[in-house]
Structure 1
Amino acid sequence: MSNWQMLAEEIQQWSSPVQFWWRDDDAVANSGALQRLLMLAAQFQIPVHLAVIPESLQASLSVINKVQHSANCYVLQHGYDHRSYALEGQRKIELGGSQDIPSLLKKLALGQQLLKSRFGEQYLNILVPPWNRIADEVASQLPAMDYTQLSVLGSKKQAESDFNLNVHIDIIDWKQRCFAGEDAILTKIISHLREQRLAGLDRNIKPCGFMTHHLDHDLNSWLFISQFFQFCQQQENVEWLSGQQLHQFTNVS
């Protein structure tokens, strides 16, 4: 049995729709890669949530405001400058490291206001930390800054709080900087869905987050995205969430 068949069987075992959401990181400008991404969103009617770097934002990204894209495209905040401030021995991190916390929060607020003013209702108050890392003392301040959710790369090592709306499936192997491979990705999706189904009988299951990076895709990455979206379109029990629908999964006290 192929992994595609195994994924279809897993989806069929769910009593409620299997929910996904799509996050694409590092958007700053219009490009051939962005146009290809938007074409896929329109072709399959799957909304894409672009994590935009405020400091690097270029006017050409306003292409996503056009009517043909606006219904399938939302904007999230991808840190502020996407630079690493890691201390010696730390992995790359913008939202932490050597940065002074008050100054860092001030920069985040500037980025937040810029994206709000530029993208209006397409902007969602969701923060996506570069490299999916954020210091605890920064994360704790986000609700007071009117962020509704925090989105990192979820893992078994990291408990998902009510405030998190994470991604779980990364299609890129960053050590090799290429497509991670069809079998590896499908196996990860199947495993995640199975764990959620078996553990989620008495709680609200959050959607499975599908993460892409349009500027870093090789041909196999693009081919897989198209094939995966086509597969999902053929499943009666799959739902892709977008925009304000995502806010139902947060519970900020």
Structure 2
Amino acid sequence: MTDDQIWTPLRQELDRWRAAGCQARFWLRDDDATEPTDALETLLEVTRRACLPLTIAVIPASTGEALATRLSGEGHILVAVHGWSHANHAGPDEKKQELGRHRSADVVLGQLHDGLVALQGLYGPRLVPMLVPPWNRISEALVPQLGARDFKALSIFGRAEAGGPIRLLNTHVDVVNSRKQRGNRPHGDLVADLVAQLQARFAKDDEPVGILTHHLVHGASEWEFLTRLFQETGHHPGAAWMSARDLLG
């Protein structure tokens, strides 16, 4: 199968949205930023060239003025709170978690609030008061308490359920990770994931499709996929890339 054939199903699905007078909404979240790196420069260049908005989840305990200064001139960038330190507090037989039940809620929520305040000081209006839990995992008991710590939204992975205690702006297609593979995911598999997400939303427009990236571990395959994805969707009348702030209203 040629590279062009790999992208045909996405093109056809977006054509279906256009024919129905609809636009599929997309948004982009990148995780684990702490400082300027060559990988970050590539991410900024790819998104800037495509003229699309990007939300970067920054780890408060590990960041500082250097990253804030580098991002200050990038008008297409917003920042979200990526936990506190991205430290794993789960046991060896559990999935990694920073925001689980392994510590007291007061300690965890206090650190999250400190992280929000720290990033507000660094980024001002560029910060979206949205929590991105490390590894996309958070104890259900903590979620209803986030609002009292000044968070307005939560972003994890998977379809969002309506009627929760806080707004959800989730991601759904992970460019790097799947249950079967870590890195170098076949582009055909990623396109199939995108098409499945769009088909589940057709004529409903109930939830934007969130694309999740991890710039620090991208190889050539991930950068090639993103570049082509932005080309295929950036000017298609059946697609619209939106910022987290616009989506949260």
TM-score, length of structure 2 as denominator length: 0.90
Q: Deviations over 1:83-122 (max 9, x none)?
A: 1111463211111131111011110010000000100111
Deviates more, 1:204-213 or 1:58-67: 58-67
How many pairs were matched up? 240
Residue 13 of structure 2 is aligned to residue 10 of structure 1: yes
Q: Deviations over 1:103-161 (max 9, x none)?
A: 11110010000000100111000100000000011111112222111100115xx7455
Q: What amino acid does structure 1 have at the position aligned with 2:190?
A: I
CA RMSD of aligned residues (A): 1.8
**Which residue of the partner structure matches residue 32 of structure 1?**
38
Measure the CA separation in 1 of the matches of 2:206 and 2:111.
33
- Unaligned 5+ segments in structure 2 are none
**Which residue of the partner structure matches residue 182 of structure 1?**
187
**Which residue of the partner structure matches residue 115 of structure 1?**
119
Residue 86 of structure 2 is aligned to residue 82 of structure 1: yes
Change (3 A) 1:161 1:26: farther
Of 194, 198, 201, the residue aligned with 1:196 is 201
> What is the SS of the residue equivalent to 1:16?
coil
**Which residue of the partner structure matches residue 102 of structure 1?**
106
Change (3 A) 1:5 1:219: same
Contact 1:52 1:77 in 2 (8 A): yes
Contact 2:32 2:57 in 1 (8 A): yes
> What is the SS of the residue equivalent to 1:104?
helix
- Structural mapping, 1:172-251, within 5 Å: 172-173=176-177, 176-197=181-202, 200=204, 205-248=206-249
TM-score, length of structure 1 as denominator length: 0.89
Residue 22 of structure 2 is aligned to residue 22 of structure 1: no
Percent identity over the alignment? Answer: 30
Task: Quote how far apart the aligned CAs of 1:6 are.
Answer: 1.4
- Unaligned 5+ segments in structure 1 are 249-253
